[in-house]
């Protein structure tokens, strides 16, 4: 199976999961799945074109994903402390 097809399937599964889930942890996992599909494309094209820029972009995406996971988990912990579960529809009830 071609790498691009695998990446398309991973991105589609991540998009479906991000749009249909109500659990905040599942949404974060779906976003990470989409980012990994993009990383797979970057590394594939970087290797095919013999250019390191795709691999450098992949390193930046991995760093950004780690920061996103840390901030997202902090938000999820605050949601759990406030409401007792991590349903994202209850996040609209937060007052700013």
24 pLDDT more than 70:
yes
Q: pLDDT grade, residue 96 (50/70/90)? A: low
CA distance 3 to 51: 18
What gap in Å lies between CA 89 and CA 95, rounded to an integer? 14
Q: Mean pLDDT over residues 16-43, rounded?
A: 92
Domain count, the chain: 1
Q: What is the pLDDT of residue 89?
A: 78
| Per-residue pLDDT, 58 | 93
Q: Is the pLDDT of residue 55 over 80?
A: yes
Range of the domain at 15: 3-93
Q: How much is the pLDDT for 95? A: 65
For residue 58, what is the domain's CATH number? 1.10.287.3510
DSSP string across 11-75: HHHHHHHHHH--BHHHHHHHHHHHHHHHHHHHHHHHHHHT-THHHHHHHHHHHHHHHHHHHHHHH
């Amino acid at each position: 199976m071609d790498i691009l097809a695998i990446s398309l399937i991973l991105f589609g599964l991540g998009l479906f999961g991000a749009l249909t889930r109500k659990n905040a942890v599942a949404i974060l996992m779906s976003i990470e799945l989409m980012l990994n599909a993009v990383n797979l494309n970057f590394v594939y094209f970087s290797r095919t074109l013999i250019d390191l820029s795709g691999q450098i972009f992949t390193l930046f995406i991995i760093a950004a994903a780690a920061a996103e996971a840390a901030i997202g988990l902090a938000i999820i912990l605050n949601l759990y402390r406030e409401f007792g579960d991590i349903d994202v529809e209850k996040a609209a009830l937060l007052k700013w």
